Amino acid sequence: MEYTFEVAIFFILYGASTVISAIACLYLLLRRGNAFAPDITPPTRLRYWAAALLGSISLSHIWWIPDALSSDDFTSTSYIVACMLDCCFLVPVMLGTMPTMLQDRRRPVWPIGVASLPVLILLVVCFFNRSETILRIGEAYMLLMSGVFIVYMLLATRQYRQWLRDNFADLEHKEVWKTLMTLIALLLMLGIYDVSVNNIILQFFLQAVVIVTVILLLLRVETLQTLEVEANETTNDKEALDSTSSLSPTKDNIAPIAVLLRQHCEDTQLYLQHDLTLQQLAAAVGTNRTYLGACFAQQGINYNAYINGLRIQHFVKLYEERTKQGQPLTAQSLAAESGFKSYATFGVAFKRFMGQTVSSWMKLNFQN
């Protein structure tokens, strides 16, 4: 390798991404508390997977150093060994970490190892015969596998978003966009890794993406709330149900559920409880979450729309009462009284339910 100013800068950036990844890995493994959001308990499984990924990134930077210091021969021992180590550790762990950010269900990770096996076999063959053609076949397979995984993760994230809306009204610390940003960063890192060999510009970009990805992943792990309420949902759904919930919900037999919802949720104002989940509401009503969710679906809504609709109605009622009494009020305080833990969540729900922003609605009502 010819040592130039650009190469020196690259190695500085390379070393920085290595050290940052190692520090983040040790932080996740050794620190018991949460330094970024002390009131949040992140998923333990995600924490360990993320630590494994960060450690793999750091180690990958180390075992690529011999190849970086040697020639640019794709069939050199150092290059093939580094690719084999990445195939055994970095790539599977990276692909395995992404699904753990989605808490709707535990997705198996063994298919990732199976899918990575052909690349490892091709690299072993290439190690003995030093065939660049076989190496190119392995790279093409990696690109194909990455493309399939990207499509899979996009579909899985879409399902996860719908699952959140079907089971939760308060989406604080469950933000899909943060998960999506982290996934995009990881996928971008994987994509650049696949095509950046022997391209100094892409290598610079890859190291910058690695640093950004490490930061995003660390923040996502620390700020993602564990959805423990759903931990036993499968077991609960298989338990014996009462005579009403043992039937499949139809438009004709959801009337009893509507009555129970009115008695146990609307009349008691249970919907004002922060972080109320579908499972908790189902327990209060006396049925299970699957049946109750299906009842909402029969009416063309989901749990999120039902609860937040009641909260918006409560907000409007409070606003009208306080306005008539001439009491001082703010949208933030009324939203909190109406069951919204986050004003941002309230703003989104209000616009979806009322068809206009909170500020526009309040201006219109002040005029009237």
* DSSP letter string, 43-85: -HHHHHHHHHHHHHHHHHHHHTHHHHHS---TTSHHHHHHHHH
Sequence-distant (6+) residues with CB within 8 A of 197 are 74
45 Cβ partners below 8 Å, 6+ apart?
Answer: 100, 106
88 vs 111: CA distance, rounded Å: 14
Residue 275: CB atoms within 10 Å: 15
- What DSSP line would sit under 163-197, residue for residue? HHHHHBS--TT--HHHHHHHHHHHHHHHHHHHH-T
User: So what's the pLDDT on residue 234?
Assistant: 40
3-state secondary structure of 277: strand
- pTM of the predicted model, to two decimals? 0.78
C-alpha–C-alpha distance, residues 331 and 158, integer Å: 31
> What residues have CB less than 8 Å from 316, skipping those under 6 apart?
none
Angle at 213 between CA 208 and CA 218, to 5 degrees: 135
pLDDT for res 287: 87
**Cα–Cα distances in angstroms (integers) from residue 89 to residues 82, 127, 190, in the given order:** 11, 18, 13
pLDDT tens per residue across span 262-320: 999 999 999 999 888 898 999 999 888 888 988 898 888 899 999 999 999 999 999 99
Asked if 315 and 209 count as a contact pair (C-beta separation under 8 A), the reply is no
Label residue 300 left, alpha or beta by phi (over 0 means left) and psi (-120 to 50 means alpha).
left
Q: What does each C-alpha distance from 206 to 88, 93, 141, 319 come to in angstroms?
A: 20, 18, 20, 52
For 98-117, b/e burial (b = at least 16 CB within 10 A) is bbbbbbbeeeebeebeebbe
- The residue assigned the tokens 């793999």 is 56
Q: Check residue 173 and give its pLDDT.
A: 55
Q: What is the full per-residue pLDDT of the chain (368 aa) written as tens digits?
A: 555 777 788 888 889 999 999 999 999 999 877 777 777 788 889 999 999 999 999 999 999 888 777 766 677 888 888 889 988 898 899 889 989 988 888 888 889 889 989 999 998 998 888 888 888 898 888 888 888 888 898 899 888 888 888 888 876 656 677 777 887 888 788 777 766 666 677 888 888 888 988 998 998 888 888 875 444 444 344 343 444 444 566 666 677 888 999 999 999 999 999 888 898 999 999 888 888 988 898 888 899 999 999 999 999 999 999 888 888 888 999 999 999 988 888 888 899 899 999 989 988 876 55
Q: Domain limits of the chain?
A: 5-230, 247-367
Q: Please state the CATH superfamily assignment of the domain spanning residues 5-230 in this structure.
A: Rhodopsin 7-helix transmembrane proteins (1.20.1070.10)
- Domain 247-367, what architecture? Orthogonal Bundle (1.10)
Compute how many other C-beta atoms are within 10 angstroms of the C-beta atom of residue 94.
24
Angle of helix 44-63 relative to helix 200-223, nearest 10 degrees, comes to 160
Whole-number pLDDT of residue 239: 43
Same fold for the domain at 5-230 and the one at 247-367? no
